[in-house]
């Protein structure tokens, strides 16, 4: 994969727009035709032509080409959020009476779709511990049409062996979907490992500047055309041309940003793991992670997101620590240029006691997730040090 070519040149037809180096924002909702005959012809294939921006738009199209190439996919559809990309992929893959297998602890709105929304339409989902592929295999039924993976997930970073799951589905005609947001297209290539569809919250590393919400779905054209004719056009969650342009600008530095935040996150994870006030660190690229060997096998480099839990008896210590941070903003989401801290304590009542044992389906109340941005990692470590000193 020639990443530099993809990020800088692929999909850009500069001679068509005055040799401008930066592509134009084609800010239009509709495209017009020279004749009724041309109109009839183009209407036949909105997937590949320009007719209406809810379907396709030239600025969005440049982005589609780049993300497809980065993922090693035949094509890509862009959405106005990662949640829309995942929902469209799922809805296009199942009908009433079908069954889905999904890993435990997927992104919260993926869970909501599978656990609350789809059962209303007769689609059941089994949630399983995906750290062992045998659990996924054991959950398969004749009605299973889709396996939903997220490797690793974005809070406690459990992995799935993507090649092994893909192998399971080969003879059974089951589709696989993997949320690859954590790794970005640069650090993991699920399609090369045999996965059918890859989804991204492009809000994260792909855009990288905390100013756009968007999603991507990559895979073979046969499936994506089906997604396009179904949920994509009916739900209408297309990105605006301006957002697509901002993401194109964000992409120029994808490689630098992903390398920098991954290297800094590894350094910070190692420092936290050695700190006497830290009970636990969750990070696939630490040897203490139970699936470290798998992380090294299927991920190219460390990611920029990690979690840790300080030693404490209740979450009041977490509030004190997080309120003392000066270089981390307290916020949800991740993958931007700025460092963020997201404590699970914010989703529990004040002073929630820390349980003695971890619950398999949820994160502990004293977990703090850190999204490592582009700042000097030593500055971030100094900030964590002074905040840990207060508890």
Question: For binding to ligand PLP (CB under 6 A), which residues are involved?
Answer: 81-83, 107, 150, 154, 179, 181, 201, 203, 213, 215, 333
User: Considering the complex, what minimum distance in angstroms separates the CB of residue 257 from ligand PLP?
Assistant: 17
Three-state SS annotation for the chain: CCHHHHHHCCCCCHHHHCCCCCCCCCCCCECCCCCHHHHHHHHCCCCCCCCECCCCCHHHHHHHHHHHHHHCCCEEEEECCHHHHHHHHHHCCCCCCCEEEEECCCCHHHHHHHHHHHHHHCCEEEEECCCCHHHHHHHCCCCEEEEEEECCCCCCCCCCCHHHHHHHHHCCCCEEEEECCCCHHHHCCHHHHCCCEEEEECCCCCCCCCCCCCEEEEECHHHHHHHHHHHHHHHHCCCCHHHHHHHHHHHCCHHHHHHHHHHHHHHHHHHHHCCCCEEEEECCCCCCCCCHHHHHHHCCCCCCEEEEEECCCECHHHHHHHHHCCCCEECCCCCCCCCEEEEHHHHCCCCCECCCCCCCCCCCCCCEEEECCCCCHHHHHHHHHHHHCCC
Nearer to ligand PLP, 144 or 183 (CB): 183
Nearer to ligand PLP, 68 or 216 (CB): 216
User: Considering the complex, what minimum distance in angstroms separates the CB of residue 179 from ligand PLP?
Assistant: 5
Cβ–Cβ < 8 Å for 269, 281: yes
Nearer to ligand PLP, 302 or 312 (CB): 302
User: Considering the complex, what minimum distance in angstroms separates the CB of residue 357 from ligand PLP?
Assistant: 26
Nearer to ligand PLP, 51 or 159 (CB): 159
User: Considering the complex, what minimum distance in angstroms separates the CB of residue 380 from ligand PLP?
Assistant: 21
CA 132, 153, 178, 129 torsion: positive or negative?
Answer: positive
User: Considering the complex, what minimum distance in angstroms separates the CB of residue 110 from ligand PLP?
Assistant: 7
User: Considering the complex, what minimum distance in angstroms separates the CB of residue 108 from ligand PLP?
Assistant: 8
Nearer to ligand PLP, 75 or 179 (CB): 179
User: Considering the complex, what minimum distance in angstroms separates the CB of residue 335 from ligand PLP?
Assistant: 8
Adjacent-strand bridge partners of 77: 217
Nearer to ligand PLP, 206 or 384 (CB): 206
Structure tokens at 57: 């738009």
Nearer to ligand PLP, 362 or 386 (CB): 362
Nearer to ligand PLP, 83 or 147 (CB): 83
User: Considering the complex, what minimum distance in angstroms separates the CB of residue 89 from ligand PLP?
Assistant: 11
* Residue closest to ligand PLP when measured from CB atoms: 82
Nearer to ligand PLP, 239 or 365 (CB): 239
User: Considering the complex, what minimum distance in angstroms separates the CB of residue 86 from ligand PLP?
Assistant: 6
């Amino acid at each position: 994969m020639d990443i530099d070519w993809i990020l800088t040149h692929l999909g850009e037809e500069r001679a068509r727009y005055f040799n401008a180096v930066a592509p134009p924002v084609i800010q239009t909702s509709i495209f017009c035709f020279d004749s009724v005959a041309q109109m009839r012809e183009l209407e036949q294939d909105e997937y590949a032509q320009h007719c209406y921006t809810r379907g396709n738009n030239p600025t969005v199209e440049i982005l589609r080409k780049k993300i497809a190439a980065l993922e090693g996919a035949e094509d890509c559809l862009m959405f106005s959020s990662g949640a829309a990309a995942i929902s469209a992929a799922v809805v296009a893959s199942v009908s009433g009476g079908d069954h889905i297998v999904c890993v435990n602890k997927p992104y919260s709105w993926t869970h909501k779709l599978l656990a609350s929304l789809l059962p209303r339409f007769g689609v059941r989902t089994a949630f399983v511990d995906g750290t062992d592929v045998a659990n996924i295999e054991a959950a398969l039924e004749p009605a299973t049409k889709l396996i939903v993976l997220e490797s690793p997930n974005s809070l406690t970073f459990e992995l799935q062996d993507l090649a092994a799951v893909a192998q399971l589905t080969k003879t059974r005609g089951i589709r696989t979907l993997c949320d690859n947001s954590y790794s970005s297209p640069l650090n993991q290539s699920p399609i090369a490992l045999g996965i059918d569809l890859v989804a991204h919250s492009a809000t994260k590393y792909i855009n990288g500047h905390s100013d756009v919400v968007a999603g991507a779905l990559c895979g073979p054209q046969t499936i994506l055309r089906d997604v396009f004719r179904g949920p994509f056009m009916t739900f209408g969650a297309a990105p605006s041309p301006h957002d697509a342009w901002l993401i194109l600008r964000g992409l120029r530095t994808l490689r630098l940003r992903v390398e920098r935040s991954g290297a800094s996150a590894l350094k910070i994870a190692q420092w936290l793991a050695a700190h006497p006030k830290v009970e636990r660190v969750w990070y696939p690229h630490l040897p203490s992670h139970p699936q470290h060997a798998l992380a090294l096998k299927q991920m190219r480099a460390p990611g920029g997101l990690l979690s840790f839990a300080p030693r404490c008896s209740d979450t009041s210590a977490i509030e004190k620590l997080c309120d003392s941070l000066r270089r981390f903003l307290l916020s949800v989401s991740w993958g931007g240029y700025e460092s963020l801290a997201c404590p699970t304590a914010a989703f529990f009542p004040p002073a929630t006691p820390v349980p003695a044992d971890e619950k398999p389906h949820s994160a502990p109340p004293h977990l703090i997730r850190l999204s490592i941005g582009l700042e000097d990692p030593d500055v971030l470590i100094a900030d964590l040090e002074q905040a840990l000193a207060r508890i």
